[in-house]
Structure 1
Amino acid sequence: MIMKDITRTEAAERASVIQDCHYEIFLDLTKRERFFSRTCVKFNSKPGANTFIDALANAIESVSLNGIPLDIKSVFDGSRIALENLETDNGVVVEGYFEYTNTGEGMHEFTDPVDNETYLYTQCEVSDARRIFAVFEQPDIKASFIVSTKVPKNWHVISNSTCREIKDESNNTTLGTTENCPRVWNFGQTPKMSSYLFAIAAGPYVGTQSVYKGARSIPLGIYCRKSMNQYLDADYIFDITRSGFEYYEKRFSHPFPFEKYDQVFLPEYNMGAMENIGCVTLSENYIFRGRADRALKERRVVTILHELAHMWFGNLVTMRWWNDLWLNESFAEIVSTMASERVTEYKDAWATFALTEKSWAYVEDQLPTTHPVVADVHRLSDVYSNFDGITYAKGASVLKQLVHWIGEEKFYEGLNRYFRKYAYGNATLKDLLTELSSASGQTLDEWSKQWLETPGVNAINAKFCVKDGKFDSFSLEQDGPQRSHRINIGLYNLESDVLKKTIQTSVLISGAKTAVRELVGIKQPNLILLNDKDYGYCKVRFDIQSMDCILENLSKLKDPLSRSIIWCNLWLNVRDCLIDPSLFVETFVRHVESEQDTKWILERVNKCINFYTKDDKSTKASIAEKVWLMFERAQPNSDNQLQFLKGYALFCSTKMQYERLLAILTGKCNVVQLDADLEWHIIAALAAGDYIDEDEINNFEKKDNTITGRELSARARAALPNKKADCWQKILTDRTLSNSTIRSISAGFQFVQSADQLSPFVDVYFDNVLDIFKNRTFAIASAISEGMFPLRLSNTDLVQKTKSWLRDNKDAPVGLRRIVTDNLHEAEIAVKLKECFS
């Protein structure tokens, strides 16, 4: 199947000749090898114009234009159907067969090992609607859709609009018996929407219904597989959803713009969720089979609110082209965090944002492949790599800064104008800035140039002189592009064993150096915290006294947001080779037990020990023992207890430590309540240490005969030291491996006791990665090329071979070169840190 790219120029040309588009789509989903698809599309055009419609079909059976059959060989090139000499009013009918996938793209097919039931779902963003039906695949040709699906009788179908009619088909040629004859589900017409928001979920899904009563009553639904229904906390999800509805309708001054709101939880999903109109799809990772950590629970809430926000940002008003993807994602990210803080139990949502989302943005904004928030997207294939920390987290971070700058009420007033003016249409950055400028009375062109159109992050450093214990001078210096920042400076002093903020001042930074005269004459505090309250998008540096105070007293600082800012910037300073990774680890040992969410910090400690320092078994063993003591001190069944046990499993190095872990798994050491997911976490660690064998892993898989069990067992097998070559063999030769299984194998492959275990696979990676990217779908190719890069090795040999590959493969696909380039950057950081501090 040839997959031809679509350029921005081609899309603009096509949009200029296609208007008033309407689709009627029929999908026969009763056959398992492939499915039949018929598209009837009506549209207006310029008489005599030529264009094309997209279709990534297994086989096109017929094409007609305005009632005239077209020669398929002449008009279809494998991904496009040429449409020539159009009339004012046009009708195109395309019939063909399309492939089910196991990659999470297009029409994904999944069979549940628990009950052997088959489930289907679609994923169309960025350009995979064309894997399902013939379509003008670009966001600015909005159209209404009427969809009909033929499915087995016991199936349930969810789509963008409400089902208006279900008919039994009397002539059953597929299933063989009248009583089991297929049914045809006919859905109502949708409002105008972009094709990437099209959605179908079909199978024996089970669901629960509710309603939101706001400006009007909105039907709500939550669906999942039968075997997962016992774990689905539908009442809680409905409560979060209704709270989001109420918050957004009030703040946006615009009622929910669509007729219903269903949420469908899916297996083998490539992302967290997708905002399809009326049929939001979410990863089954948000259904908890056992104890879920606090970070995942909070992420589920933010994700639910994020997707709901998209009904306004992205769906009611949609970007014209993919360079404005940030208009969807950044706004959904910031307002979902606002909503989480104000209408859910996660009142410290901004502390979580600072620690996780913002640190993600800072790291990605220093990669050699960073880009402006408003990305330069020439073709559809450029878009896939831009679902990143810039589009999501940096965009949201600079919007938080803008809200602080112009005021929240003016911000929402501008958004309300934007929604009213461009409802059910498309818009651009310029359109949004016009409405925000009008509402705030401020010109935002310069702000946009500095923050949306220029890549990179500034570092802010305090320069001061102290005389008789007081500041004699105080200024802030910034490196990088000269931008304007409005940040707070917090001065903290230790009082009664609590680190208290004694002074806070707001500073407008402009240029390379900004004097802060308000602090002259003020006593030097124990801690100077730049960007206090986290309004700015900038890295901050710590002076020596502040650094000493952090190491000694961080847990005495009671504000979670302030601590998150410090943890985030400690990490950034490590990566910038300004702080010894061992200092980050020491801060963790002294203070992490006071944190409410330890997951992010534990992950960075793992990076410090396993990537940023030379392999040292004794260091890992020492940290493992300290984390074990944290586990023993933690409140039983608390989130910290769960995280410390997982951390201990990660750092185990000695025979005694592994035997302790094995005793927990077998029940001989009854110190924690185990569930299936926690068992698998321990099994993977034991496998990496070679303290469990493949037969034992297989026995645990038989006990957990679910898709999650199969994926986690694949991860555990891949962690076995003698199975690393098998990982590559399976990934290269077994096309039946699904997207999620490949990710599991990759995670296990990287789980090693010694980095040297990956040395034999450096050449294997570079010998195969180009063919993988050329011959597999983007989702699979990117999962393999990212997941199988031997980054843990991070030595000079890996750096040199990576540079050589990049030099010799300048014409490799952009997405692949980006993955390899970014991994090279990470390897160079690790090598530099080892040289400087080990």
Structure 2
Amino acid sequence: MVDTLQRYAPNENLRRDEAAWRARNIEWHFAEVQLDLANAADRNATSFTSITTLNFSSREPATFIDFIHESVAEVLVNGTAIDLDTAVLDARIYLDNLRTDAPNTVKITGQAIYSRSGEGLHRFVDPQDGETYLYTQFEPSEARRVFACFEQPDLKTSYRFALTGPADWHLASNQPIVDEVVNEDGTKTVVCSPTPKISSYITAVLAGPYHVVRGEHVQKLADGEELSIQMAATCRASLAEHFDGEEIIKLTSQGLDYYHELFDYPYPWGKYDSAFVPEYNLGAMENPGLVTFTERYVFTSHATEGQYEQRGNTLMHEMAHMWFGDLVTMKWWDDLWLKESFADYIGTLANDEATDFTTAWTTFAARRKAWAYVADQMPTTHPIVADIPDLLAADQNFDGITYAKGASVLKQLAAFVGADAFRDAARAYFRKHAYGNTSLDDFLEALEAASGRDMGQWADAWLKTSGVPKLHVQYETDESGTITSASLIQSGTDPVTAAPIARPHVLSVGAYELDSGKLRRTDSVQVELAGEQVALDFLIGRTVPDLLLPNDGDETYALIEFDPVSRATLLGHLSGLTDSLPRATCWASLWDAVRSATLDAQSYVQAILDHAHAVTDAGVFGVLTDQLATAIAKYVAPELRAGLRQQAAATLTGWLTEFEAGSDQQTTTARTLVRLARSGVAPEVLDAFLGEQPNAYQVTVDEQLLWGSYIALAAAGRLDEAAEARMHEAAKANPTSVAQNSVRTALAARPDPQAKETAFDTVLMARDEQGELSNDALSATALGFTLGSAALLAPFEERYWAAILPVFETMGMEFATRVIEGLYPGHQDLQGSVEQNEALAAATSWLERHEGAPAALKRILLEERAELQRSLQAQAYSRASR
């Protein structure tokens, strides 16, 4: 910022320089937060009373406090009321005449707003029983929507929460309840013990008639002390019959055992609650003592092993944050990777080593790294250590680079310095910086001390550059076909600096031979690639292997460009590769080749239809069937889609009876079939799923499959009056939030201009005839809208481009992002050349005409345009390869 405090509005978007100015001048001693939530069940109540008392020292006589509010009733500074008209400006409360020689006490009383966007204090009314549920989500900067605070990660303090609500509600925050009083009006007030010093974004509140499962973790520490951690797992009461809370407690206990051993630092947050909450914008959030998870992890339908593994991975990810992120926190959002990359890597490591899930790294290679590769090839790619000038930029940096690329690079780091050195560095880092804030240099210092290696060059190469390195084996042969020279080559260009990518890698290179239809590994040799290439002497003197696989053990972050022999082998014999990790690595690199328009999508679709049924890893099988549907819809030339859909539907229908009834593979196949059926294929399968049970395919039609089938029926134009009546009757019989949102999707999916008009307007306004939409209801409607032909949706494109800037300027970040991404005209059929595509040209024109638009909005549009361009280029390659 500057040394003189500036006042301006709107001022929700805190800048990095402002935060640094405030951090230099403020020492925050404690905060007391009182929230009266007794009126939450009254749907006409828009706000709740929030009273915050902050005690802090200031080196300057002026500062500002963050509070996004409905109203402010009073601000007392050291006991004296100040003029609200001059102090309260938009999202900030400006304070003058502060003491600089003694601490200040500021008490702020106001009304904070109940949220429907999943930001701040979210309110949800259960459609099954009418009960009201509340929970908070604050990252990166939404605590100020609930109470007044210094909303930045490097101003930590101790918080004490007092919560008032109905007497029969479960009320909770980060720390245990130490006092409870029943009030004369029948409500109760609970007071929690003060937290250790934490950042505002990881404080949390939970309130409602939640179902609670309790447990205890007891562990003897290295010094002989016994550590007791009270645990709870909660969900909505209407989901209790589906909730395996005991399993959550068990996994939590396994994770605590593992992390205590790994980090050699006792869990510092007292209790450990895991709350599964509705309409959650994230997978989970690491609030210490009260971790929140999406209730999609409370499985109301058949859950595959892959879904359970993903839930376990999320649980371990959030637990890693109790140390990486909560105990030691980044100073500013530039170093977001210091918590998210670490949690993604160590969470997967814990899921693999501490639980019964044996394919955690395989699923990581297939799913998480694919996310990273997509993000790192966007025009908005950035280094892992990013440049984050303000909160809007921070909000958008929770992406595949910060999470999955960072985790992949940390896995490579562990290979580079050794697992023991990495562990010892983490232990020293926690001991030195506990309850403090750090930056990149602090962790590198710990790494250098533990490993004895200079980490500066490694950090510059991996953490401060952008783009995906590509690896391929280059070899020469003599007339007999014997290899005379061979090297592993690294290529690629940093899209930000245009410099060649030259990163150090420690990895293995595998050689495989076909033997009776199986791909048998004959060699796997570890090499250290320090620059552009390294010799592979183990290949000299032999014939070309059927498959050469760089990154055979998935030790590093890189895409593989297969030599022609290896690619042909894989497309014809991928089911013969029985080792799950290299198989997932091969599938992932072939998928990127489709998206990069170097492998035609129809060949990849054929490979899935020929070989995916042999994949036994539920997580990878789910990835492949998802890619099957996506490849046909986005990357195959339009004139080839109908035939490929029919072929895919016929093959998958055969799989339904080939796989064991009720198995993960059968369940995933059925779900993929109904997705394909949105285009009109496999009508007999839809009719069977929506008809009498049991069906001829011996498929159990659970909630997910039932509603997927109705959505497909609607998108295919077969939701006639009778079918629509049955759909509404099914939703009425079991009025879950899944049912309600699926009805929204189905009605919007109908291939009818009026249905599309209604859906488009509903999403654009985030309202329908019943009032404001929730975050999930908005996205459900947008999904239905996009399930239509390009011709049907074309009339809305001009209106879309006219609306997006007002949407971004008038809606909160969460809603604006869902609207702009949800309605983007991204599903296009290639007609002439890629350059002639009207939707692509419209996006380019808008960006050129709006150079001064907010950077966060332009980032959304740049990424959507890039994905559309990639889709069209793949379609062109598919057409040329017919």
TM-score over 0.5 for the pair: yes
Alignment check: 8 A CA contact 1:676 1:704 kept? no
Letter in 2 for 1:632: T
Does 1:212 find its partner at 2:217?
yes
Does 1:501 find its partner at 2:521?
yes
| DSSP 3-state at the match of 1:804 | helix
Alignment check: 8 A CA contact 1:114 1:705 kept? yes
Does 1:42 find its partner at 2:55?
yes
Of residues 200-209 and 389-398 in structure 1, the stretch that sits farther from structure 2 once superposed is 200-209
Partner residue, 1:708: 738
CA distance in 2, matches of 1:494, 1:249: 45
CA distance in 2, matches of 1:761, 1:771: 16
Partner residue, 1:812: 853
Alignment check: 8 A CA contact 1:294 1:639 kept? yes
The 5-angstrom pairing of residues 433-832 of structure 1 reads 433-467=444-478, 468-479=480-491, 480=493, 481-595=501-615, 596-597=617-618, 598-615=621-638, 616-652=641-677, 657-667=682-692, 669-671=695-697, 672-693=699-720, 694-722=724-752, 723-733=755-765, 734=767, 736-752=772-788, 754-793=789-828, 795=830, 796-832=837-873
Partner residue, 1:430: 441
| DSSP 3-state at the match of 2:648 | helix
Structure 1 regions of 5+ residues with no counterpart?
A: 173-180
Partner residue, 2:77: 65
CA distance in 1, matches of 2:656, 2:688: 15
CA distance in 2, matches of 1:33, 1:649: 40
Q: CA deviation at 1:563?
A: 0.4
Per-residue CA deviations over 1:544-593 (Å, capped at 9, x if unaligned) read 11111112221111110010000000011111211111111111011000
Alignment check: 8 A CA contact 2:678 2:712 kept? no
Partner residue, 1:176: none
Letter in 2 for 1:727: A
The 5-angstrom pairing of residues 332-351 of structure 1 reads 332-351=343-362
| DSSP 3-state at the match of 2:262 | helix
CA distance in 2, matches of 1:656, 1:465: 48
The 5-angstrom pairing of residues 371-390 of structure 1 reads 371-390=382-401
Letter in 2 for 1:775: T
Letter in 2 for 1:747: L
Alignment check: 8 A CA contact 2:48 2:112 kept? yes
The 5-angstrom pairing of residues 300-379 of structure 1 reads 300-379=311-390
Letter in 2 for 1:702: K
Letter in 2 for 1:349: A
Q: CA deviation at 1:446?
A: 0.9
| DSSP 3-state at the match of 2:336 | helix
Q: CA deviation at 1:3?
A: 4.8
Per-residue CA deviations over 1:3-43 (Å, capped at 9, x if unaligned) read 52111111111111111420011111122331011111111
Q: CA deviation at 1:622?
A: 1.8
Structure 2 regions of 5+ residues with no counterpart?
A: 1-8, 40-44, 222-226, 494-500, 831-836
Letter in 2 for 1:506: Q
| DSSP 3-state at the match of 1:430 | helix
Does 1:410 find its partner at 2:397?
no
CA distance in 2, matches of 1:509, 1:749: 49
Partner residue, 1:89: 103
Q: CA deviation at 1:714?
A: 1.3
Alignment check: 8 A CA contact 2:65 2:94 kept? yes
Per-residue CA deviations over 1:285-332 (Å, capped at 9, x if unaligned) read 000112023332211010011111110110011111111111111111
Q: CA deviation at 1:120?
A: 1.0
Partner residue, 1:16: 24
CA distance in 1, matches of 2:10, 2:583: 52
Per-residue CA deviations over 1:45-66 (Å, capped at 9, x if unaligned) read 22x4321111111111111111
CA distance in 1, matches of 2:820, 2:584: 32
CA distance in 1, matches of 2:792, 2:355: 45
The 5-angstrom pairing of residues 4-153 of structure 1 reads 4-31=12-39, 32-46=45-59, 48-87=60-99, 88-153=102-167
Q: CA deviation at 1:653?
A: 7.1
Alignment check: 8 A CA contact 1:29 1:35 kept? yes
Partner residue, 1:296: 307
CA distance in 2, matches of 1:2, 1:294: 48
CA distance in 1, matches of 2:354, 2:582: 22
Alignment check: 8 A CA contact 1:758 1:793 kept? no
Partner residue, 2:181: 167
% of aligned pairs identical? 36
CA distance in 1, matches of 2:678, 2:764: 31
Q: CA deviation at 1:484?
A: 1.8
CA distance in 1, matches of 2:389, 2:518: 54
CA distance in 1, matches of 2:301, 2:631: 29
Q: CA deviation at 1:762?
A: 1.7
Q: CA deviation at 1:119?
A: 1.0
CA distance in 1, matches of 2:806, 2:623: 35
Q: CA deviation at 1:115?
A: 1.2
| DSSP 3-state at the match of 1:4 | coil
| DSSP 3-state at the match of 1:127 | coil
* Structure-2-length-normalised TM-score: 0.92
* Structure-1-length-normalised TM-score: 0.97
Letter in 2 for 1:60: V
Alignment check: 8 A CA contact 2:763 2:782 kept? no
Per-residue CA deviations over 1:326-351 (Å, capped at 9, x if unaligned) read 11111111111111111222111111
| DSSP 3-state at the match of 2:364 | helix
Alignment check: 8 A CA contact 1:11 1:138 kept? yes
| DSSP 3-state at the match of 1:461 | strand
CA distance in 2, matches of 1:21, 1:721: 60
How many pairs were matched up?
827
Alignment check: 8 A CA contact 1:145 1:190 kept? yes
CA distance in 2, matches of 1:506, 1:111: 56
CA distance in 1, matches of 2:829, 2:47: 44
| DSSP 3-state at the match of 1:120 | strand
CA distance in 2, matches of 1:322, 1:168: 42
Alignment check: 8 A CA contact 2:637 2:876 kept? no
CA distance in 2, matches of 1:400, 1:473: 30
Q: CA deviation at 1:656?
A: 7.2
Alignment check: 8 A CA contact 1:573 1:579 kept? yes
Q: CA deviation at 1:657?
A: 2.0
Alignment check: 8 A CA contact 2:141 2:152 kept? yes
| DSSP 3-state at the match of 1:652 | helix
Q: CA deviation at 1:151?
A: 0.8
| DSSP 3-state at the match of 2:162 | strand
| DSSP 3-state at the match of 1:114 | coil
Q: Structure 1 residues 654 and 335, CA, compared in 2 at 3 Å: closer, same or farther?
A: closer
Partner residue, 1:175: none
CA distance in 1, matches of 2:600, 2:609: 15
Letter in 2 for 1:612: Y
Q: CA deviation at 1:654?
A: 7.9
CA distance in 1, matches of 2:573, 2:52: 65
